[in-house]
Structure 1
Amino acid sequence: MNWLISLLFLLLCFTAHGQENWLGQFARQVEQEARRHNLPGYGFAVVELGQSPQIFTYGKTQKNGQPINADTLFRLASVSKTFTGALTAKLVQQGKLDWDMPLDQLAPQYEFDPQQELKLGHILSQSSGYMPNAYDNLIEANYSVQRVLNQLAGLEPICEPGQCYTYQNALFGVLSEGIRYRLDSNYAELLQDNILSPLAMHRVSVGRDRLVSDSNWARPHALVARGQWYKTQVRADYYRFAPAAGINASLNDMVIWLEAMLEQYPHVLSGHTIEQLLTPRIRTKRELYRRHWRAYLKDAHYGLGWRVYDFDGEKLAYHSGWVKGYRADVGIAPDYGVGLVFLMNAESNLMNEISVNFWARLFEEKKMATSMASQP
């Protein structure tokens, strides 16, 4: 919060002298904080309909590596779920899947209890009823997808499906297994055919091998001590559950993704599809108590692959991602046609503060502009 106060003071000073707009000053402040925390690198992009996207980068892919640029690949981690929500919605529209399809029909090779009435829509809305993050420990212990899902199929729920919010990663493996069984395809192929190629998102890829074989990718970094980061290995664990956390992307690609979610490519993602994704499905009460966010969140839900927030009276669709060595954040304010993506090759909690401060300032700017426009 001290950072926000300092930022607002500087913004007032710069605005008074007409030297720099609020976004430029915000970017400078982010870079100052990155230097103070000795972050390896990051990149972020802001999309506002009717204006050119603005991209800001800092640092290097690794020590003595190349500077991060708009084409550098990062892991999206759980931001992958936003793509999975959109892909699933399109497959439903094509009649290939159904939101009400029971899991024992979607992936009959796993013995999900039909009496639980667990359905495809419960996966994407994080309302399965299983204990939160069920068997993430098995993912991280490198158990096979099949073994994890067999364990999951025998798990007793803590509530009825659709009745409580229980965030999952392993359960998304049912979707990729179901795609293979029912559609004789795989997640990466369907994502390419239905989302990536139509949107010309040429740098997006699925899987560890596609990341580490690229000539321009950001290496992961973990914190060893205050302000001291070390390069770590890219783990394959969550990549094996690709619909949950298996996508890599660049800033340039994510600009297109933000534009698509702001209804700029209706031939790929229609307004109806986006409305489906961003309709609140299950309340996520714990989000209201997150550090930094709690000062602004009035209500919080999960849609289909997206979180849906009431951010101090404004609608914000959002998702974050975190795997070893990487952080990612993406958000859109549909009512204002604005989107933000932030990608970092370090596990820094500074990400939360950056995102909150951006949206707080953005909504303040928009309200001020509306107020000034209404004055005689």
Structure 2
Amino acid sequence: MPASPTLRSLLSGLAMAASLAALVSPAAATDPAAVERQVRSVIEPVMREASIPGMAVVVIENGRRHQFNFGVDAPSGGKPVTADTLFELGSLSKTFTATLGATAEAEGHLSLSDPAERYEPALAGHPIGRATLLDLATYTAAGLPLQFPDDVSGNEAILRYFQNFRPEVEPGTVRRYSNPSIGLFGDLAGRATGEGFEATMTRDILPALGLRSTFLTVPEREMPRYAFGTAPTGEAIRVSPGPLDGSAYGLKSTATDMARFVEVQIDPSSLPAPLRAGVEATHLGHARVGPMVQGLGWEQYPYPVDVEMLLTGNSADMALKPQTATRLDPPQAPQGAVLFNKTGSTRGFGAYAAFVPERRIGVVFLANRNWPNATRVRAGHAILSALD
């Protein structure tokens, strides 16, 4: 089903704004040595205080890419981190899942207003079957929890879990951050394409984005590049398989690929038309939740933004507790400068990405320890503020 006229109008406006921005002559690029001094002054103390073995940092400003590598790729006996070291993205994967779903809508495979049961008939007659794809993608599908219960494993158990789920609120009224929610969204969007989630992501979305070292399953030949995370107790770990993990937290990537990913968020004009529309659609706001606006994958704030507002929006309360959501209908196109951000964690890794398209600035952190979100947000805010 094609995108609605309202959505097409919003995406057209976004495309026009991006084209105009590309015509504006950027300010003089920041001195690379000054960027490095700023990054080191922020990151080196953080790595010491959080005992992070290694980190890759990307800074984007005015079309210029700065990459910095710190430490080693394992908690003991590791190799130096490089721009091609593979890190687990954790929930930053959700922004890729959102891109897949939004692109599928741009290609006419689905509509975000469709109910889940349209793509999984076994959900028909069950409450979650009436939730829309948009509800699932924005964590407003009637209160699905953060994680699946420990005893849910395998496709049959996953389906039974959704069939048995009994919501306590109406869809669209409460945001509860949820891996099952966006996991189901990614699964259904993959079915809508006719290929499935993993095939659509690996054969279509990632190559079209220009990402050559981003994987759901790291190929054997690439394993030497795959960092080891650091467990809270200090041992080397990597993520374990889980229900619908690919669409919720399963991607692994490099600083080079994540630099490219942020660059096409800032200026998607080089992308093929359906994918460009998909990327632009992830920048629409769908629900106001406390200090932030929830989009598809990305979370939004007016820029410049006070660091305390960012900390509230990325707090444990926002991740762990239900929050009142006010649906934005029609979806809200960015007004003026907007900061987009997303954290991502597995047990042994911690990532963060933030960017401001109108200012043409962005930052990415990939670390092989799950360091506090508040520290990531403060570090990103400090670097972006210095660039701006």
On whether the aligned pair clears a TM of 0.5, the verdict is yes
Residues 18-27 or 256-265, more deviating: 18-27
2:183 corresponding residue in structure 1: 173
1:158 corresponding residue in structure 2: 168
Post-superposition offset of 1:41: 1.0
1:290 corresponding residue in structure 2: none
1:336 corresponding residue in structure 2: 359
1:19-98 residue pairs with structure 2 within 5 A? 21=34, 23-51=36-64, 53-62=65-74, 63-98=76-111
Residues 95-104 or 182-191, more deviating: 182-191
1:1-376 residue pairs with structure 2 within 5 A? 21=34, 23-51=36-64, 53-62=65-74, 63-111=76-124, 113=126, 117-133=130-146, 135-138=147-150, 141=151, 143-179=153-189, 181-207=191-217, 209-210=218-219, 214-224=223-233, 229-237=234-242, 240-268=244-272, 272-285=277-290, 299-310=291-302, 311-312=305-306, 315-349=338-372, 351-363=373-385, 366=388
Rate the CA distance shift 1:40–1:142 in 2: closer, same or farther, 3 A: farther
Contact 1:128 1:161 (8 Å CA) reproduced: yes
Contact 1:45 1:54 (8 Å CA) reproduced: yes
Within 2, Cα distance between the matches of 1:168 and 1:210?
Answer: 28
Name the aligned partner's letter for residue 345 of structure 1. N
Count of matched residue pairs: 325
Contact 1:149 1:174 (8 Å CA) reproduced: no
Rate the CA distance shift 1:254–1:361 in 2: closer, same or farther, 3 A: closer
Within 2, Cα distance between the matches of 1:57 and 1:31?
Answer: 11
Contact 2:101 2:186 (8 Å CA) reproduced: no
- Structure 1: 5+ residue stretches without partners: 1-17, 286-298, 367-376
Post-superposition offset of 1:95: 0.7
Post-superposition offset of 1:176: 4.5
Q: Which runs of 4+ in 1 moved over 3 A?
A: 114-117, 179-184, 209-213, 268-275
Q: Render the CA deviation track for 1:142-191: whole Å, top value 9, x for unaligned.
A: 62243133212322223211122121111333334435644431212212
Post-superposition offset of 1:319: 0.7
Rate the CA distance shift 1:267–1:233 in 2: closer, same or farther, 3 A: closer
Rate the CA distance shift 1:342–1:365 in 2: closer, same or farther, 3 A: closer
2:18 corresponding residue in structure 1: none
Name the aligned partner's letter for residue 298 of structure 2. W
Within 1, Cα distance between the matches of 2:139 and 2:186?
Answer: 16
Contact 2:90 2:250 (8 Å CA) reproduced: yes
Aligned-partner SS, 1:45: strand
Within 2, Cα distance between the matches of 1:183 and 1:275?
Answer: 19
Q: Render the CA deviation track for 1:287-336: whole Å, top value 9, x for unaligned.
A: xxxxxxxxxxxx21210111112323962111111111111111111221
Contact 1:107 1:174 (8 Å CA) reproduced: no
Of structures 1 and 2, the larger Rg is shown by 1
What is the percentage of aligned positions where both structures have the same residue?
Answer: 22
1:293 corresponding residue in structure 2: none
Within 1, Cα distance between the matches of 2:255 and 2:114?
Answer: 35
Contact 1:259 1:265 (8 Å CA) reproduced: no
Post-superposition offset of 1:104: 0.9
- Structure 2: 5+ residue stretches without partners: 1-30, 310-336
- Two-structure CA RMSD over aligned residues (Å): 2.7
Within 1, Cα distance between the matches of 2:32 and 2:161?
Answer: 60
